[in-house]
Amino acid sequence: MDHTLLLLHSLFRYFVMALLIIVIVRSFTGWQSKREFNGSDNKFSLFLLITTHIQFLLGLVLYFVSPIVIKSGASMKDPIARYWFVEHITIMLIAIVLITVARSTSKRLTDSTAKHKRLFVLNTIALVVIIAAIAMMKDRGFFTLAS
CATH number, residue 115 = 1.20.120
* Residue 141 pLDDT: 59
Please state the domain count of the chain.
1
Q: Is the pLDDT of residue 92 over 80?
A: yes
Q: Are 57 and 142 in contact (CB under 8 A)?
A: no
In whole angstroms, give the CA distance from residue 98 to residue 42.
17
Host domain of residue 102: 2-146
Q: Are 126 and 98 in contact (CB under 8 A)?
A: yes
Sign, CA torsion 120/123/126/128: negative
Q: Is the pLDDT of residue 3 over 70?
A: yes
Candidate from 81-85, 101-105, 132-136, 142-146 with smallest mean pLDDT: 142-146
The H or E element containing residue 54 is helix 39-65
Choose from 24-28, 56-60, 64-68, 84-88 the range with maximum mean pLDDT: 24-28
Q: How many CB atoms lie within 10 A of CB 42?
A: 14
The string over 14-39, giving b where at least 16 C-beta atoms fall within 10 Å of a residue's C-beta and e elsewhere, is ebbeebbebbbebbbebbeeeeebee
The string over 54-90, giving b where at least 16 C-beta atoms fall within 10 Å of a residue's C-beta and e elsewhere, is ebbebbeebbeebebbeeeeebeeeebbbbbbeebbe
